[in-house]
Amino acid sequence: MNVPIRVDYGVRALVDIALHSGGIDAVRSIDTSRRAVVPHAYLAQVLHSLSKAGLVKSVRGPKGGHMLAKNPYDIRLSAVMKSLDGSEMMVGCLGNVDFCVHVPDCSQRDVWKTVEEAVFNILDSVSIGDLAEKTKVTTVIG
């Protein structure tokens, strides 16, 4: 399985915002870009998508930047993946039985469905808050 770079960058940005906003302050995207090692121009696109998905709020003005639109523990990696990747199925036939001529007799379909469900369950069990907390511990220890 390949995690799209947009998702990787989005998760890094959300964790950075969770760590540096204190829940009330907007975080400048240039600062997030530097700390999360994400190209600034690309980060702007990712943050725009996260904003449209209701995961981030943009604040204009001298104290402007981005902040989480929800509690970091309520932002699941499954929601980030859905908002930035858009693809819902690992294999096309899972979403559309007409996608493949082998669907009626395919022995693989159930395997891919099980894999997809397991991946979704893992992503749905981890929040941005969990990752931010783990990052704090790693930073203090490391």
Domain residue spans of the chain: 5-86+127-141
Rounded to whole angstroms, the maximal C-alpha distance in the chain is 61
Which residue's structure tokens are 């890094």?
12
Q: What are phi and psi of 62, to 5 degrees?
A: -60, -30
Q: Where are the alpha helices (DSSP H) in 22-108?
A: 29-36, 40-52, 77-85
pLDDT for position 133? 94
pLDDT for position 22? 78
6-47 pLDDT, tens digit per residue, is 999 999 999 999 999 877 789 999 999 999 999 999 999 999
Is the pLDDT assigned to residue 142 strictly greater than 70?
A: no
Structure tokens belonging to residue 42:
């690309």
Q: What are phi and psi of 108, to 5 degrees?
A: -80, -25
CA dist 87 and 33 (Å) reads 25
Residue burial 41-80, b: 16+ Cβ < 10 Å; e: rest:
eebeebbebbeebebbeeeeeeeebbbbebebeebbbbbb
CATH architecture of the domain covering 5-86+127-141: Orthogonal Bundle (1.10)
34-85 pLDDT, tens digit per residue, is 999 999 999 999 999 999 999 999 999 888 899 999 999 999 999 999 999 8
Is the pLDDT assigned to residue 139 strictly greater than 60?
A: yes
pLDDT for position 2? 74
